[in-house]
Amino acid sequence: CLIPASAHGTNAASAVLAGMKVVVVATAADGTIDHADLYAKIETHKDALSAIMITYPSTHGVYDGDVREVCDAVHAAGGQVYIDGANLNALVGLAQPGKFGGDVSHLNLHKTFCIPHGGGGPGVGPVAAKAHLAPFMPGDANNASSENAGEGHGVAISASRFGSAGVLPISWAYVKLMGGQGLTEATKSALLAANYVASRLNEYFPVLYTGEGGLVAHECILDLRELTAKTGVTAEDVAKRLIDFGFHAPTLSFPVAGTLMVEPTESEDLAEIDRFIEAMITIRKEIDQVAAGDFAVADSPLRRAPHTAAAVVSSDWDRAYPREQAAFPVHHLRQDKYFPPVGRIDGAAGDRNLICSCPPL
């Protein structure tokens, strides 16, 4: 199974779960699929090629205008094309995934259609397939069996083939309330928000990939790797420092290590987006302070972030920067400030040494 490096990690996981060998396709300089590498790997594996799984638009935050050519090349070698619709927020009302050239596609309801994303599930959304794949689609638990699987009724793999009745009404209500025009406007707003963030922050944190006209899709990747090489300040430091500004960090070090992926969606208003941009610009000034030698990276507000209220009011303050910078890096935080309950921890150690805090049965 061919998996572009720009695809969601779940694509590779799904292929492995199905017993396939994953072959990664490289990324071109503009963030799209590297066609030369794709054609070479199709040729190498043509006798065993099963499928390619594409996230569209990719996790690199760009549209691939040649997606049909990619699909045609895989089809010519006898493979099938699976299109991951996780980034539907950049497509609704503007494009039709069924015309990209895929054979099967899932269209996520989370994010784009308002159901929850976190907590490990439930994943809900339609899976669309072309007619020749209909016999292999999951069947109804009430009437499907292995005996009639060849008659257009796949074997049942779930007791709830239409997803969770608890969350589906949320998406139904959202679609009914928004209507076609409203959904299209939501997509346009998401695209506008992402490009606004990219254009405002590119001077401070270079945007790694852009498409035609220097624009992005619904998300952008801020590249901190050069700053890290010069100053030692990491993308994780920036993510932790954002907590002091009242922000949950964007996606950290995915899909590219040492970067932040920002996906503002259509839900945030301009004031909130500007507040995030102000925080990022302020953080860049603190990185410049490290570069200028005002304080060492190990004793900077970036590496010591986030700052709890207890740490800021402690009589034992021995840091190289003032308490005011730690707690109130921008003025409006004096009126509306979130203090995190805990400071910096060793995240890797925490991930490797789990402690069960569940109440006893």
Q: Does domain 2-107 have CATH number 3.40.640.10?
A: yes
Q: How confident is the model at residue 168 (pLDDT cuts 50, 70, 90)?
A: confident
pLDDT at 114: 87
Q: How confident is the model at residue 239 (pLDDT cuts 50, 70, 90)?
A: very high
Percentage of the chain lying above the pLDDT 90 cut: 73
Q: How does pLDDT run across 292-350, given as a tens digit for each residue?
A: 999 999 999 999 999 999 999 999 999 999 999 999 999 999 999 999 999 999 888 98
Least confident of 2-16, 75-89, 132-146: 132-146
Q: How does pLDDT run across 19-74, given as a tens digit for each residue?
A: 999 999 999 999 999 999 999 999 999 999 999 999 999 999 999 989 999 999 99
Its sign, for the CA torsion 192, 66, 124, 140, is positive
pLDDT at 15: 93
Q: How is residue 84 annotated by DSSP?
A: E
Cβ neighbours for 206, distance < 8 A, ≥ 6 positions apart: 222, 223, 226
Answer for the pair 258, 233: CB distance below 8 angstroms, yes or no: no
Answer for the pair 53, 14: CB distance below 8 angstroms, yes or no: yes
Residue ranges of domains in the chain: 2-107, 186-350
- For 51, the 3-state DSSP assignment is strand
Its sign, for the CA torsion 233, 234, 237, 238, is positive
Cβ neighbours for 234, distance < 8 A, ≥ 6 positions apart: 224, 228, 258
Architecture, CATH, for domain 186-350: Alpha-Beta Complex (3.90)
d(CA 345, CA 126): 40
pLDDT at 121: 57
pLDDT at 132: 94
**Average pLDDT over every residue of 261-285:** 97
Q: What is the mean pLDDT of the chain?
A: 91
More confident residue, 30 or 152: 30
Query: Both tokens of residue 101?
Result: 């050239």
Q: Answer yes or no: is pLDDT of 154 > 90.
A: no
Q: How is residue 214 annotated by DSSP?
A: G
pLDDT at 118: 57
Q: How confident is the model at residue 147 (pLDDT cuts 50, 70, 90)?
A: low
pLDDT at 150: 47
pLDDT at 138: 79
pLDDT at 144: 52
d(CA 303, CA 297): 6
Q: How confident is the model at residue 119 (pLDDT cuts 50, 70, 90)?
A: low
